Structures are given as C-alpha cells and as structure tokens.
Amino acid sequence: MTARNPARNTAERWGWVSQALHWLIALLILGLGVVGLCIANHVFRQTPKFFWIWTAHKSLGITVLVLMLVRLVWRLYAGAPKPVPNTPAWQHAIAVATHALIYALALAIPLSGWLYDSASGLRPFKFFGQFNMPKLVAPDEGLRHVAHFLHEWGFWALIALVLLHAGAALYHHLFLHDATLKRMTSFTR
C-alpha cells in the first residue's frame, strides 16, 4: 500500500495539511460564489422558506475566514516547497505575488461579507443555527455600500487571479511536464 505523504511541507512538496486546506477552501469559495451570485440576482425568492440559504452562505463564509487564518498560521509554521527546478526568477516572483494577493482576497471577501451583513442592520444570523454572530459595526448605509462593493468586486478579482493561477498550474503540468500540479494534488508519497 502506498503511504500517505507527511503533514509538514518539505523542500520538494506540499504536505497533506496544506493540500487539504487548499482544495477544501477552493471548493468552498467557488461554491459560495455561485450561491452568492444566485442570492444577489434574486434566483431565490426573499421568503422565509429560502432564508436558510442566506444563513448557510454566511456561516460557510465565516468558516472560510477561519480556515484561511488556520492556513496562514500553518503556512508560516510549515513553510513552502522550493520552486520546481529550472523556474525562472521572474516566474517565481509572479507566483509569489499571485499567492499573496489570493491570500489577501480570500480573507477580505468573507470579512467584507460580515461587514456588509453588520452594516445592513439585519437581525443577527445564527452560525449554523447555533449562536448569534456578533455585529462588527452599527447599521451604516455608507459602509454597507462600500462593503458590498468590496464583497462583489473582491470576488471577481479573485476569480481573475485564480484563472491565471490554475492556468499556470495546468501549463506546468501539460507542457513543462514538471511536478508543480502533482505535488499539490497527490496525497500519497
């Protein structure tokens, strides 16, 4: 039987903790984006029957915020693999900048959602139906607009970066035939 790869990242590859967080967060963000766009475009009628979808979007969004903070701490503790051999310095620099921007946006999007919810002066939402989430600010119409703008356009900026990011990963895999994608997808040694 093939052994599972270690939890910690090594110089050559990502460990399973970074991999699991990468793919779980990616799935959640893309799923939340689809649901968020459905909400904003009135695909679900604003009746109590559908409110659980709002609460699920908000609760899962806060979960992404927490997972991103865990990921950031883990990344600082466990480090990152070296670039695959023969990576030009400029390509590595673009990858580092893209990853940093993705981190920033993946934190800013749920935070702006929470700010939007707070500034809207809606009733507090219950985190997965368990307890009331605190409000970040008092109701404020100006802030509500700013937060909504950041939430919506932050998401589209993230999508643009992720397309570049996934395109680069696929280019490495299909044309350069190196380990860039494999070391993030393979959960065995």
**How many CA atoms lie within 13 Å of 120's alpha carbon, on the beta-carbon side?**
12
53 in contact with ligand HEM (CB under 6 A)? no
- DSSP assigned state of 68: H
Only segment of 43-51, 74-82, 136-144 that touches ligand HEM (CB under 6 A): 74-82
67 in contact with ligand HEM (CB under 6 A)? no
**Whether 78 contacts 21, CB under 8 Å:** no
Residue 144 phi/psi, 5° resolution? -60, -45
57 in contact with ligand HEM (CB under 6 A)? yes
Only segment of 43-51, 137-145, 163-171 that touches ligand HEM (CB under 6 A): 163-171
Residue length of the chain: 189
**Whether 25 contacts 67, CB under 8 Å:** yes
As a whole number of angstroms, the distance between CA 62 and CA 135 comes to 13
- Which member of 5, 108, 117, 119 binds ligand HEM (CB under 6 A)? 117
Binding stretches for ligand HEM (CB under 6 A):
18, 22, 25-26, 29-30, 32-33, 36-37, 39-40, 57-58, 61-62, 64, 75, 80-81, 95, 99, 102-103, 106, 109-110, 113-114, 116-117, 151-152, 155, 162, 165-166, 169-170, 180-181, 183-184
